[in-house]
Amino acid sequence: MKKTSFISLLFILVLIINLYPQKLEQPKLVVGIVVDQMRFNDLYRYYDLYSENGFKRLLNEGSNFTNAHYNYIPTNTGPGHASIYTGTTPYYHGIVNNDFYDREQKKSVYCVDDPDVQSVGSNDDEGKKSPKYLLATTITDALKLFTNKKSKVISISIKDRSAILPAGHMPDGVYWYNFKTGDFISSTYYMKDLPDWVKKFNGKKLADKFLSAEWNLLLDKKFYEINSPDESPYEPDFFKEGKKSFPHTFKNLSGNEKYNALAFTPFVHEMMIEFTMSAIQNENLGRNSVPDFLAISFSSTDLIGHTWGNYSYELMDTYLRLDKLLADFLNYLDKEIGPNNYLLFLTADHAAIETPGYLKENRIPTGELQNSRILDSLKAFTNRKYGTDKVIEYYSYGFVYLDKNVIEQKSLNYYKIEKEISKYLRDVFPEIQTIATRSDLEKSIASRNNDNLILNGWHPSKSADIIFTLRPNYLFRFLERGTTHGTSYTYDTHIPLIFYGWRIPKQEVNEKVFIV
């Protein structure tokens, strides 16, 4: 299959680097936008209700890649953001999942946790984060290196990992939302203290303002009826109101619980855009001849999707409101930076499945293979076969880690165990679709194509010894409500990819391309 190199986000940097020494025209600002969990069809499902200057502006005036996909598993937030900004897969950048097992520490670790740094802007541990597990350089790193740190790189998100991974290793500022306090915070990896403008912004307590508001539908209810009913069995009573339908308020939530809940509404996106515009102003982004980079990631689409599902009134309303915010932000960039002075891309870190409970009710094949069932079965099998279940060091969500020390101590054959466990899993669990072993994967090298999505998402020193996937629409934990993601199937891999602005042609590309 022909590969379209234009889809690599590193192409943006190539443009900048090629033009920079020649003092020719170049963008003053590159803006990367990730909409967490946005599916490609979200661009068109509500197209007629979008404004002319938000998503439609990008679609109609930019380069729209209609068949863009991820080419690895698992399709989750950490690997997604790392892949977008490194231009490669987890095989190389090392962010193999949001959480993954660390053999040295003998425990599961979060992809941006770092106990050696401290929170900046809060007294809790929410800021003890850094890119320590990110092994590859990002486009933002490359820009800083090429311009000898003269370019500024600022990254902002609601989720910590969605701010940290795009920023790379040498940014000027990285900020994320504190789910406990409603402030934007950072870590000592980046700075000793928050800039004055961030302190001033936090001092406004915008979160408290939004917490006193009521979440009503943006449009008349009739426009939302293309979705599941508002009072749906596939949704929770998240706000503890005794109902599931609009309007929603925070009044029945207590204490810090409210700040967490705010992230599950479109209001937090409004707060983030205000923070982003403050960053542009106070950090003087895009104001001189050296290109700067602004990375922003909208996280609430993911949180709301997980909670209420793809076809909920809540998620639809969030996209309609995000469209208005996007229109305002593009107009702001036109005014402050100049319409021909910025280059922007919009994509997503993954997509999502339909609500499994809804699929089941409508007789679409679906089901689950619980972690506990797998682990109990593996322990029983290995005890019978090898006299110990300790050959299994760790298991989670299709990832089986073998303990090589135990295998050596018992004078067992690693390759035989690998093969026998794989055969056992295949024979016992019909829910399993594909199985790969370390021996299989080490024979190949990851590539841009999607011939082996397990290989592309596997890292030789970080990943499991045996990996398996489930049949389409099957999960490790069945969901009656909301949605999830992580598989290699189109419902999880197909995402928006749009380039807009400086020297970007107006075009629609229907050829299948990959995010890296």
Q: Which residues belong to the active site?
A: 77
DSSP string, 401-413: EE-HHHHHHTT--
How far the first Cα of the chain sits from its last, in Å, is 15
User: What residues have CB less than 8 Å from 448, skipping those under 6 apart?
Assistant: 3, 71, 514, 516
Classified as helix, coil or strand, 20 is: helix
Nearest to 457 by CA among 492, 421, 499, 507: 492
CA–CA gap between residue 333 and residue 353 (Å, rounded): 34
**Contact in structure between 493 and 69 (CB atoms under 8 Å):** yes
Q: Residue 415: count other Cβ atoms within 10 Å of its Cβ.
A: 10
Greatest CA separation for the chain: 71
**Contact in structure between 479 and 236 (CB atoms under 8 Å):** no
CA–CA gap between residue 404 and residue 418 (Å, rounded): 11
Measure the CA angle with vertex 258, ends 256 and 262; round to 5°: 125
Structure tokens at 305: 């999707």
Q: Distances in Å between the alpha carbon of 47 and those of 35, 60, 267, 501?
A: 16, 11, 21, 21
Position of tokens 């990367």?
Answer: 32
Structure tokens at 343: 């280059």
Would you mind telling me the total number of residues written for the chain in this entry?
516
